[in-house]
Amino acid sequence: MIFFAGTVSAADEAIFVNGSSGLDTNDGYSWSTAKLTIQNATGTVNSNGVVTIADGVYSGTGNTNITIDRNMTIQGLSETGTILNGTGTNWIFNITAGVNVTLQSLTITNATARTFGAINNNGNLTVENCTFTHNNETSNLVMSYGGGAIRNSAEYGTIIVNLTNCTFEYNHAARSGAAVLNYCDVAGNYVISTVTNCTFNNNTADIHATFYNAAYGGDIISEIANCTFTNNTAGIGGGGAIANFASYSSVKSTITDCNFISNNANMGGAIYSYANTQVNFITCIVTNSNFINNTAINGGAIVITRHSGILNLTAHFNRIVGNMATTGSAIYNGGGTVNATGNWWGSNADPSGQIFGLVDYSPWLFMTINATPDTTNNTQTSLITVSLNNYSTDGSSSSPVDPNLGHIPDGVPVTFSLIDGPLGTLGSQTGFINGTASIIFTANAVGVQHVNATIDNENRTATITINPSGHVNITKTADNYTPNYWDGVTFTITARNEGPDDVEGLEITDILPNGLTLISADTHGFGSYNSGIWNIGNLANGTTAILTLFVNATSTGTFTNWANVTAQTTYDPEPWSQDNTIITVPSAADIAVEKSFYDYEGDYEITSANYWDVISTRILVTNNGPDTATNVVISDIFGSGLSFADEWWVKWDINDWYWNLNDASFDPATMTWTIPSLPAGQTAALDIMTNLTSTGTLHNYAELVSSETYDWNHTNNNDTAYLTVPEASYLSIYKEFRDLPWGNVITTAYYNDVIYAIVQVKNQGPDTTSVSILDTMAGIVWTGNYYVLSNVGSILPTPSSWVLNDPVNTFNGTNWNIPFLNTFIGSEKWLAIEGIINTTGINAASNHAETVDQNTYPYKGYANYTANLTTLAAPTSIIVDDVRGNKGDTVTLSATLTDHNSDPVVGAMLEFWVDGVKVGESNTGSNGTATFNYQITETPGNHTLKSVFNGNTFYQGINTTGNLYVPSANLYIVITSDKNNPTVGETFTLRYKLGNNGPDTADNVTITIPLPEGFVISKIEGDGNWTVNGNTIIWTMNNVTVGDPYLYISGWTTGPGNYLFSASIASDTFNINSMGVSSLTLNAQPTVNAATTTNTVGMQTTGTPIVPLALAVISVLCGLVATRKNNKRI
C-alpha cells in the first residue's frame, strides 16, 4: 500500500478502492475491505476524506460520470498505473459549486462529453502529478463549451484552480480550450488559475487555444509558470497554446519561464488575446520565455487584437526566434498597447521586420563576445564570454544591462568554434546562465587566433594575440652532502629550457653562503660566471646548460646553496625556477657526563634515602665546545635496587627554571636519552624518578653512547653515583571475622554470639622487623582469650596450629606485640581475638588494627585495616508449660525464653495470652523463665495458652502456644431402699449410689445428705469418708473417677408417713450436673405390734437451723454445688 505524505491529516477519513478485488458492499476503510468502484467511494467518504485508488484501469458504470458534491482528495497509487478511462463515451468527474477537490497521481484518458471532456469543475480544484490524454469535448454550439480535459466555470461563484506537475497530451475541444477552459460569465465572480511545471503537447482546439481564458461578464486571473507548450493547434481561432478573451470583463494573464515551441493557430501561433467590448480589460505579461518556431497567419508568436476595450501586452527578456506568419512573424498588434522592449529576436539586427502594428520594441537585447585577456602567451588561456545582457537601439552598438534586472531564459544554445589556425584548443563551455555563456581557449602556438560564437542567427568573433613563452627548469646537486670540516664539495647546476619557445636574456644567480669558499667554476661553454651570476643569454628550446662549482667547507654547520633564474626577457608561464642543495658539516664538541642522586623534587643532592622512596637520579651532560652537539645519546644503567618510576624531567639548560615532564627525548624502554641539540657551553639535565627497591649501597651508571657531533674528549663520557639505603620493611594488615580461629569467615553474627576478630600481619620486606599493632574493637566485648598462628603460607585448618594466649606474641586487649617477623615468602602471623557481640546493626561491630611501632623504616607508612560486621538480633525460642486447673482455680502460667545458643534470656518481658486475649505479662528471671498467676475463668475444655516475646534491640521476637485444660465431671446420685414401705420401727437400708459420667475425675467431692425428721440411723457404711451432724450426713471423697461409689445408711422410722430422702453434690471440678440427684420417698406403715422395741442411733445435735439447711439442700438439688469422689468400694 502506498500513501502520499502530507496529503491528509490523521483525522480525515480514508476510503480505498480496488477495481480487481473490492466490493461496493465493503466499508472501504482498508485495502482488505476496499470498495469496487470510484463512484461508490466518493459517495461514501466523509467530507474532507481521502479516496485512494489502486493501480488498474477504471471505466464504465461506477467509474465514470461521477458527480462530486463534498470536499475530498482522490489519489491514485501511481500516476501511470491508476487510469480512469472514459472509453470515448463518458466523462469522469462533475464537481459541484462550493466543493474543494484535490486530484493526485491519476491518468485520465478517453473521456468524452458534449460540453466538456473529462472534468467539469464548478468548485475549487487542485490537480497534482496527473496526466490527461486523448480526452474530447464534442460540441461547439455555445461559448461556454470547451475544455477537452478540464472545464473550470465560475458561474456559481469564484473558484480557485491549481494545476501542478501535470501533462496534457492529444486532448481535443470542438470549440476552445483543447486542454483547459477557464470560463466566467457572472459579474463579481472570478476564476483564479495557477499552472506550474506542466506540459501541453499535441492538443487541438477547433476554435481557440489549448489553454483558454474566456471572461464573459466575470473576471479571470491566470498565472502560468515553468510550463512547456509544444505542437499544439488552434483551428479557426487564435492561440495555439494560450488564448485570452474578454467581454464586459477582465483577464489578467501572467506567463513566466515558459517554452512555446512549434505551436500553430490562425491568429497568434502561441498566444492570442482578444477584447470584445469597450468595458473590458486584458493584460498579458510574458517574461523570460522562449517562442521558437511557432506559426500563424497573423502573429507567428503573439497576437493582441480587439473589437473595443483596453488591451495591454508586456513582453520582456523573452527569446523570440524562428516564428513565421504572413503578417507579423513574431508579434501582431491589432489595437492594443504593446511593450516588447528587452527581448532577443534571434540576431542583433533591428527586429521591426518581425512586427506588425504599433509595438515598442527598442531597445532590444544585443549579442556581444569578448576574450579575457585578448593578448596571451603560448600555453596560456583566455576566457571567451558571450553575453546577451546588452541593450541596442541601432543593431550595431550596445550598452550593458544588469542581469539582476532580467535576462533571457537559461539554456540558450551557443556554438563556439576556431575560425583559423588553430593555434590552440577550446575547453568545455558553460551553460547559458543569467544571460551569458563562456568557454576557455588554451594556446599552443604563436600567432593570432579568431574565436567565433553563434546564437540563433547571430555570429560574433573575438580576436586573441598569442606571444611566445618558455620555462627554464633548474636543478642543483652536490657530490657530498655531509662533508667534514674543510672537505671539498662539487656543485652541479643544470638549466634546461622546457619550451615551448626559445628563451632570451637568461640569467641565473648562485651565490655561495658564508662557510663555503669557491675554488673554481666551469660554465661548459654556456655564458660566463662571475660573483655568483651565471649569464647564459639565449637558450634554445630543449637545450640544457651546465655550471660546475668547486668549493671547500670552511666552517661547521648546515649550509643552503640556492640557484635561481633572476632574469629572462621571454615570458615564462610558470614562476621562475629555483633549486637548492643543503650541505651539513658536522660540528665538534666535548661532551661530559656527570651522575648524582637528588631528592624527589630535585632541589638538593643526597647520599642516602629510605627504602621505597622515589628520588631523582640526575644526569648532567655538558658541551664544552667548540660547536653545538646534536643527537647526543646517553645511556643510564640502574644498579640492583633501583626501579624506574615512570616519570622523568628534562631541562635543556641547567640555568633555566623550566623542567619538561616526560619529555620525548628520553626513551624509558631503552633507558636512553637523546639530546637533539646542545650548544657549546650549555649543560642539559635529566632527572629520572627512581624507586628504591632494596636496602644497602646502591649505584647508578651513565655513559655517552653516540653523538652526531664528533666528540674529541672521551675521558669524561661516563660517571657512577652511589647511595646508602637503611633497612626497611612494609607490614600489611588484613582483618576479618570468623566463627572459630580456624573456622569460616562470617559477615553477620547474632547478639551475644562468641566470634573471633582475625588480624593478619604480613612482612612484605625487604627486611626482618619487630612490630606492635594496636587493635580496637567496637560492639564486641573481649573475653580475655586470644589465639596466635605463626605461619608461612595459608592458614592451617586445625586448632592445633593456633596457640591459645601465646606468651611470645602477646595480646593485652589493645596491643599485639610481635618481637620477630621475618621476610620469608608468605611469612605472616595471625591473631584471633575472642569476643562477644554486644550490639546490633548494619556494620555495628568493627575491629580496627593499625601498626604503631616497628624497628625498621616503614617505607609505605604504618598499615591499618578495619573490618565491619553486621550484627543481628538473636533468634529466640519459647517453651510454654501446659496448665491444668479447675475453673476458679489460680494457676501459675510459666514460659521459658532462650536464645539461639539455648542460653536463657534474662529480663525480657513475656506476655501471656489465653484464647487470644492477653491476660498478663512478666519478666524472665535468671533462668529465662517468666511466671504469672492466673485465675481460671474459662469453661471446661482445652484452651490455647500463648506466650509472646515482642523482641528488642538484641533479641528477635517470637511466640509459642501451650495448652490450658479445665476439667469437668458429670456427677449424679441415685437413692434406693431395700424396702419400699417399711413399717414404723422396721430397719431398712438406704443405698446412695454416686456416679460420674466424666469426662474427667471430679476432685474434692462433698455430698450433703439431709435426713428427714423421724428417721433414726442405725448404721453407715460405704466408700469415702462421712460425718454425721444432727440430721445431716456429710459424705466426702478426694476424687471421683468415672464409676460408681456407694454409701449405705441403715435405720428406721419413728412414725408412720412419707419420708423424703435426698442429697446435694459439691466438687472442685466443674460438675456438668446433667442427671443431678434422684430423690427417694418412702411411706412408713404403722406398726402392727406396738410392743416392738427399736434400737436407735442417736443423732448428733449440731444446732443447725432447719430453714438454712433446707435451702442448702435445694441448692444442691439445683446443681449449684460441685462434688468429689474417691475410695470406691470394692
Q: CA torsion, points 620, 624, 627, 629, in degrees to nearest 10?
A: -20
Q: pLDDT tens, 475-519? A: 999 999 998 877 889 999 999 999 898 999 999 999 999 989 999
* pLDDT at residue 268 tops 50: yes
Task: Tell me the C-alpha distance between 750 and 183, whole Å.
Answer: 102
The mean per-residue pLDDT over the stretch 263-269 comes to 97
In the chain, what percentage of residues exceed pLDDT 90?
Answer: 75
Cα angle for residues 921, 922, 923 (degrees, 5° grid): 140
Question: Is the pLDDT at 1108 greater than 50, yes or no?
Answer: no
pLDDT at 231 over 60: yes
Q: Grid coordinates representing 849?
A: 588494627
Residue 339: pLDDT over 70: yes
Among the ranges given (9-13, 58-62, 1094-1098), the one the predictor scored with the smallest mean pLDDT: 1094-1098
What confidence tens digit (pLDDT) does each residue in 18-65 have? 999 999 999 999 999 999 999 999 999 999 999 999 999 999 999 999
Which pLDDT belongs to residue 725? 93
What is the pLDDT at residue 1117? Answer: 37
C-alpha cell at 239: 492561440
Instruction: Enumerate helices (H) and strands (E) in the chain, giving the number of each.
Output: 2, 106
Nearest to 568 by CA among 447, 470, 465, 468: 470
Average pLDDT over residues 947-966: 93
**Long-range CB contacts (< 8 A, 24+ apart) of 396-405?**
396/348, 398/348, 398/366, 398/368, 401/342, 401/365, 403/434, 403/435, 403/436
Pairing state of beta strands 815-821 and 167-169? unpaired
Cα dihedral 441→447→448→451 (10° resolution): -30
Q: Which fold has domain 729-872?
A: Immunoglobulin-like (2.60.40)
Higher pLDDT: 668 or 1080? It is: 668
Any idea which of 363-372, 698-707, 856-865 has the lowest mean pLDDT? Answer: 856-865
pLDDT in tens, 1072-1089: 777 788 888 888 899 865
Tens of pLDDT, residue by residue over 354-372, are 999 999 999 999 999 999 9
Q: Is the pLDDT of residue 787 over 70?
A: yes
Domain 375-388+409-467 has CATH 2.60.40.10: yes
Q: Per-residue pLDDT averaged across 281-303, rounded?
A: 97
Is the confidence at residue 737, as pLDDT, over 70? yes
Which range is least confidently modeled, 77-81, 451-455, 994-998, 1027-1031? 994-998
Of 322-331, 416-425, 1121-1130, the poorest mean pLDDT is in 1121-1130
Query: Which homologous superfamily does the CATH classification assign to the domain defined by 470-585?
Result: ntegrin, alpha v. Chain A, domain 4 (2.60.40.1530)
Model confidence at 143, pLDDT cuts 50, 70, 90, reads confident
What is the model's pTM?
0.52
Q: In the structure, what pLDDT confidence band is assigned to residue 992 with cuts at 50, 70 and 90?
A: confident
Cis previous bond, 999, omega within 30: yes
The per-residue pLDDT for 879 is: 96
Strands 100-104 and 72-76: parallel
Q: Per residue in 613-656, pLDDT tens?
A: 999 999 999 998 778 999 999 999 999 999 999 999 999 999 98
Most confident residue range from 83-87, 762-766, 989-993: 83-87
- Determine the average pLDDT of the residues in 1006-1031: 90
Confidence of residue 796 (pLDDT cuts 50, 70, 90): low
CB neighbourhood size of 565 (10 A) = 22
Which pLDDT belongs to residue 1096? 36
Asked which of 2-6, 366-370, 562-566, 614-618 is least confident by mean pLDDT, the reply is: 2-6
pLDDT reported for residue 826: 55
DSSP state, 983? B
The mean predicted confidence, pLDDT, of the chain is 90
Please give the average per-residue pLDDT across 949-958, as a whole number.
93
58 Cβ neighbours under 8 A, 6+ residues apart: 17, 19, 37, 38, 82, 83, 84, 85
The torsion angles phi and psi of 38, rounded to 5 degrees, stand at: -70, -40
Is 50 exceeded by the pLDDT of residue 387? yes
- Is the model's pLDDT at 1109 over the cut of 80? no
pLDDT of residue 430: 87
Which CATH class for the 876-966 domain? mainly beta
- The radius of gyration of the chain from alpha carbons, rounded to an integer in Å, stands at 67
What is the number of alpha carbons within 13 Å of residue 868 lying toward its C-beta?
Answer: 6
Most confident segment among 63-77, 800-814, 819-833: 63-77
DSSP of 1103-1114: ---HHHHHHHHH
Q: Which stretch of 20-24, 270-274, 465-469 has the lowest confidence by average pLDDT?
A: 465-469
The more confidently predicted of residues 626 and 395 is 395
Q: Is the pLDDT of residue 786 over 60?
A: yes
Mean pLDDT of 903-926: 94
**Residue 207 in contact with residue 136, Cβ under 8 Å?**
no
Under the banding of pLDDT at 50, 70 and 90, the label for residue 327 is very high
- Give CA–CA dist 262/243, Å, rounded: 16
The CATH number of the structural domain formed by 968-1117 is: 2.60.40.1510
**Could you give the percent of the chain with pLDDT greater than 70?**
94
Compute the average pLDDT of residues 833-855. Answer: 93
**pLDDT reported for residue 33:** 98
The three grid cell numbers given for residue 878, joined into one nine-digit string: 519459647
User: Fold for domain 588-725?
Assistant: Immunoglobulin-like (2.60.40)
Q: What is the pLDDT, as a whole number, of residue 794?
A: 55
